[in-house]
A and B are shown apart, each in its own frame.
Chain A
Amino acid sequence: DQQVKQNSPSLSVQEGRISILNCDYTNSMFDYFLWYKKYPAEGPTFLISISSIKDKNEDGRFTVFLNKSAKHLSLHIVPSQPGDSAVYFCAASGEGQNFVFGPGTRLSVLP
């Protein structure tokens, strides 16, 4: 049973436009969420996090939104750049738990 889902395996966006990556979770005990970016042949790189006491967190071009009632979070990248092309993973954890990762979404930013 997948506790963290990323239902879009891939997404293509034009350079300069907004990229929106979605993530859903089923475990109501999750209260801390992370987004990672992964290039081929490299380990995942931490991007941004959010805890359940907030519904939004911004860091430069990256913003994460959390909707606890819907058990849904999203990562917005504005404006998208070709260097953002990568696989994006969301991860969730709760008290005493290790992180559970989603299957990833491959983002392609077209020039």
Chain B
Amino acid sequence: KAGVTQTPRYLIKTRGQQVTLSCSPISGHRSVSWYQQTPGQGLQFLFEYFSETQRNKGNFPGRFSGRQFSNSRSEMNVSTLELGDSALYLCASSLGLVWGRLETQYFGPGTRLLVL
């Protein structure tokens, strides 16, 4: 079974631009979560989508948005990029909720974004 894939793997943008990152989950997984990892920080939760609906959202500004398509693929968009948005963006997929709890998440390789 193929793992979680993310594209692109590396990206360089300038301040003020916008960027769209893509994530394809493991086949059969309907939940996709996005995380930001910066040096010295753990994984900061951005949002989680399940069946095309945003189910949970972390504490990030509205410049960060996402969506999920009917085939469970997900995109994350960051508008008006700031230098502080430079980070590794990770996507994780899971089957979804079982007995009200999110099943184990499996991560993609990440997209490394550099904002100049």
Contacts and interface: CB of A to CB of B under 8 A. Distances in A.
Interface of A: 4, 6, 31-32, 34, 36, 41-46, 49, 89, 91, 93-104
A44 B43 contact: yes
Contacts of B4: 43
B41 A43 contact: no
B101 A95 contact: yes
Given A93-B101, A95-B100, 11 more contacts: A32-B101, A44-B107, A89-B43, A91-B43, A97-B102, A98-B102, A99-B33, A99-B102, A100-B45, A101-B45, A103-B41
B33 A98 contact: yes
Interface string B44-68: 0100100000001010000000000
Interface of B, helix, strand, loop or mixed by DSSP: strand
B45 A98 contact: yes
Interface residues on B, range: 20 to 34
Contacts of B102: 32, 93, 97-99
13 contacts: A32-B102, A41-B109, A43-B4, A43-B90, A43-B92, A43-B110, A44-B43, A96-B100, A98-B33, A99-B102, A101-B45, A103-B40, A103-B41
B108 to A, nearest CB: 5
Nearest to B44: A101
A20 to B, nearest CB: 19
B84 interface: no
Given A43-B109, A46-B106, A98 B48 contact: yes
